[in-house]
Each structure stands twice: as structure tokens, then as C-alpha cells.
Copies of this chain bind each other. A is one copy, B any other.
Amino acid sequence: MSAVVGRKRGFDRDDVLDQVTRAFWRDGYQATSVADLTATTGVNPPSLYAAFGDKQALFAEAVARYQQTYGAFTARALDEEPTARHAVERILTEAAIEYTTPDRPKGCLILSAPELTGPRDQARQAVEAKIRHDVATGVLPSGTDAHRLAVFVAATVRGMSSLARDGATRAELHDVARTALSVWPAPVP
């Protein structure tokens, strides 16, 4: 499995991956050159390629890391909250915070990268499934259009990320979240 012989790596792979993730997050895949990455990480090209493969593989790993750290709040909310309403409220509220955390790129890496349509749609599907479940179990009125509501949530989150990238404040994003939440259908009594 792991190498037992040979010179040891001169950098912390996780640290470098985090720096790379932030670079891609801030500037996007195309606008971030390998030269930029070697400059910010201090790791020379051959070492970077040996550790991560080519630029696309490095980006893929950065995205995976993002989803498991900075962007994990969405999956957590869907997993831990009892109802779709609770989950979406938490997603929007935490998005306002996460998208405007100081000393980090603003907005969401996945929502900002044109090439990540897959992960985006997966997130929307997960929200939609949670809504559908609540409709099926009588938490939400039977007339609720799960797809429509999930698409609206997707639009809201995307709007929040875009605004954050343009420098919107945390308070402004919180207001967007609160306004969007006000359209949520009243639960079945």
C-alpha cells in the first residue's frame, strides 16, 4: 500500500490541498493556473503532479474536499433536521454565514464553477426528496409542489452565493434567506 522506502514528501498534502481549494474557490478552475498554485503553495510542479495528478484531478479532489468541509453544512442540515422546513431554514441561514466568513473566498465553490452542474443538481434533488417525504408523511399539505419549491430554494441559494461574491454583507444575505423562507407553505395542523 503505502511507500515504505524512498524520500519523504516535503509538504503536508492536506495543507496544500486546502490552499489549492481556496485558490480554485476564489478564482475558478480556468483562471487558476498551475503556476499560481505552485506559487501560493510553494510546491513545485513535479511534486504537485506526483501528489495529485493533473490539474483536473487536483480540481476534482479540491471539490471533494470542499464538499466535506466548507460545503458540508447543506448535507448535514438535510441529514440532521427532522423536516424539510427545518432543513431549508438551516441551509439558508448557514449559507448566509458560510458565504461571508472572513478570510475565506466568498460564496460557494460549487455554485460558482460552471463545470459543476452535477453536484448542483444533486443538492437540489436532495432538497426535493426531503420535501417530497414531508408531503408523503402529511407534514406538508398534499398540494405542495415539491419540485417547484426545491427549485425556488436552489434559486435562492444561488442568488445568495452570487451576491456574496459581489461583496454582499452577512446581514443582507440573512435578509434574503428570511424573505425567501416566508413563502414556505404552512404545515398541516
Contacts and interface: CB of A to CB of B under 8 A. Distances in A.
A36 interface: no
Nearest to A28: B114
Interface residues on A, range: 20 to 34
B183 A155 contact: no
A120 B166 contact: yes
A151 interface: yes
B121 A162 contact: no
Contact of A151 (B117, B155, B157, B163): B163
Interface of A: 28, 30-31, 111, 114, 117, 120-121, 145, 148-149, 151-152, 154-160, 162-163, 165-168, 172, 175-176, 179-180, 182-183
